[in-house]
Amino acid sequence: MIRIVTAIFASYIIGAIPFSFMIGSKYKQNLFLKGNRKSGAANVLKTSGLKPALLAFTADFTKGSGTMIVARSMGFESSVVLLLAMSTIVGHWKSIFIRFKGGDGYATLAGITLAMFNMAGFITFAGAGIITYGARFFKYSSTLSVPGGYLILLICTRNVNLQVTGMGVIYFLVFFKSNYAIIRQKYLK
């Protein structure tokens, strides 16, 4: 039990490393005052350009994939691996290093998906990227990649087990967190 609790805490800390915020700061941008006001690769792209955004995406992606690779190598069961995935996402959302602020977690979720599902994860990642690129003219283009990505994952895995279902919950939470401000503004006045 101590091993699991330690792994959950470590996953949160890894997820909480604010790479996007640090990269934005290097380019003299306060991500919480500009763009979408979130600490994520998409906001780095809006405020600092493509090269810093690719660096931010890679770093946030690596947080997710690295955590899953370590979890698998430690022999954790699927249910624990899902808890570690969620802890990493929560760390990205509510970073202890930047006053419990953060980003949406798209890149971190992509890293988690790729590490957990190998080829199906790669196809999901590529498909979600195509959806994001294709929808770039819409206001919330990256948001469409979450349900689209999960649909691709379902099609690729063809086996709805605990891991796929658990990832569905995580995908839903990332989608909801990303859109909460919009939902609150339009429907919860």
Task: From first to last of the 189 residues of the chain, give the pLDDT tens digit.
Answer: 899 999 999 999 999 999 999 999 898 888 888 877 888 888 898 899 899 999 999 999 999 999 999 998 999 998 999 999 999 999 999 999 999 999 989 999 999 999 999 999 999 999 988 888 887 777 666 678 889 999 999 999 987 888 999 999 999 999 988 887 677 767 766
**How far is the C-alpha of 76 from the C-alpha of 59, rounded, in Å?**
24
The whole model's pTM is what?
A: 0.90
**How far is the C-alpha of 48 from the C-alpha of 25, rounded, in Å?**
10
What are the two backbone dihedrals, phi and then psi, of residue 161, each rounded to the nearest 5 degrees? -115, -170
**How far is the C-alpha of 172 from the C-alpha of 19, rounded, in Å?**
24
